Amino acid sequence: MGARFPLMACASPIFQLAIVLMKSLFGLFPYNPNMIGLESLADPTDTWEIIDTIGKGTYGKVYKVSNKKDGSLAAVKILDPVSDVDEEIEAEYNILQSLPNHPNVVRFYGMYYKADQYVGGQLWLVLELCNGGSVTDLVKSILKCGQRLDEAIISYILYGALLGLQHLHNNRIIHRDVKGNNILLTTEGGVKLVDFGVSAQLTSARLRRNTSVGTPFWMAPEVIACEQQYDYSYDVRCDVWSLGITAIELADGDPPLSSMHPVKALFKIPRRYC
């Protein structure tokens, strides 16, 4: 009996007040050691100024920005409206900021938050500008002129993309959306992987994945199989498949099965190639 909770203490007004305070504090600030506090992020407009729009739609909202202090240029991917950082944004941010720099992976310059008390704030991911555009744009514009991409150029692009993928895989990241639109060029001839929006960071406890994500025509059979059977899984090699499909895209202008509805293609891929 002596070890029972002292009921009298619970009834005391000070104790009640302390409980109410603690409850409201924990309600307002749920403890999450990984959460990025939006309040702690700098306002992007102090440093960056939007000067142009880049391919709206392909990657969400991406703009060309100029640094107000030194005039340097960058790209910004804007996510809005955000009132807190959800798991997806956090995963993309964690990958971008933890990944060591590599010449074949887009560089990350920082994350900012522009608050707005009415419509929800904007999260700005500031990234390296790849002024040459995507390799999909390149092959499409060359095909329009009745020409094809030179094999030497295709192999140069694939080599750069492979080095970028090797770097991601060495750091236990699966890109999961490798395709021509996510391989960008710089005016200096650089080849860079972009968009970690659906990428997965693997842990030593979990080297495989079982969620189906990506763009149908480029998706590996084992990734699609996860959509239909929950006991399937895949690893970093699914990116190599997608790069193979990208090789066909670079040569033909489109991936295989592209005349089909993407959902129908999803059913064809595992059966056709397995």
Question: What backbone torsions phi and psi does residue 252 show, to the nearest 5 degrees?
Answer: -105, -15
> Alpha-carbon dihedral of residues 132, 134, 139, 142, nearest 10 degrees?
-30
Q: Residue 178, interface with ligand 4QG (CB under 6 A)? A: no
What is the 3 state secondary structure string of 15-77? Answer: HHHHHHHHHHHHHHCCCCCCCCCHHHCCCHHHCEEEEEEECCCCCCEEEEEEECCCCCEEEEE
Structure tokens at 227: 């959509």
Q: Residue 131, interface with ligand 4QG (CB under 6 A)? A: yes
* Cβ distance to ligand 4QG smaller for residue 126 or 154: 126
Indicate which single residue of 184, 193, 220, 245 sits in contact with ligand 4QG (rule: CB under 6 A). 184
Residue 177 annotated among the catalytic residues of the structure: yes
Q: Residue 129, interface with ligand 4QG (CB under 6 A)? A: yes
Say if residues 185 and 138 touch (Cβ distance below 8 Å). Answer: yes
Count of residues interacting with ligand 4QG (CB under 6 A): 15
Cα–Cα distance measured from residue 137 to residue 180, given in angstroms and rounded to the nearest whole number: 8
Cα–Cα distance measured from residue 131 to residue 124, given in angstroms and rounded to the nearest whole number: 19
Q: Residue 269, interface with ligand 4QG (CB under 6 A)? A: no
Cα–Cα distance measured from residue 175 to residue 172, given in angstroms and rounded to the nearest whole number: 10
Q: Residue 59, interface with ligand 4QG (CB under 6 A)? A: yes
Q: Residue 177, interface with ligand 4QG (CB under 6 A)? A: no
Q: Residue 161, interface with ligand 4QG (CB under 6 A)? A: no
Q: Residue 194, interface with ligand 4QG (CB under 6 A)? A: yes
Pick the stretch among 5-13, 83-91, 130-138, 216-224 that binds ligand 4QG (CB under 6 A): 130-138
Q: What is the nearest approach in angstroms of ligand 4QG to the Cβ of residue 224?
A: 24
Q: How far is CA 40 from CA 83, 114, 115, 222, 243, in A?
A: 13, 11, 11, 41, 38
* Cβ distance to ligand 4QG smaller for residue 145 or 263: 145
Indicate which single residue of 36, 41, 75, 158 sits in contact with ligand 4QG (rule: CB under 6 A). 75
* Cβ distance to ligand 4QG smaller for residue 108 or 217: 108
Q: Residue 265, interface with ligand 4QG (CB under 6 A)? A: no
Angle subtended at Cα 104 by Cα 101 and Cα 107, rounded to the nearest 5 degrees: 45
Which of 46, 70, 80, 177 is catalytic? The answer is 177
Q: What positions carry a catalytic annotation? A: 177
Residues in contact with ligand 4QG by the rule CB under 6 A: 54-55, 59, 62, 75, 77, 106, 127, 129-131, 133, 184, 194-195
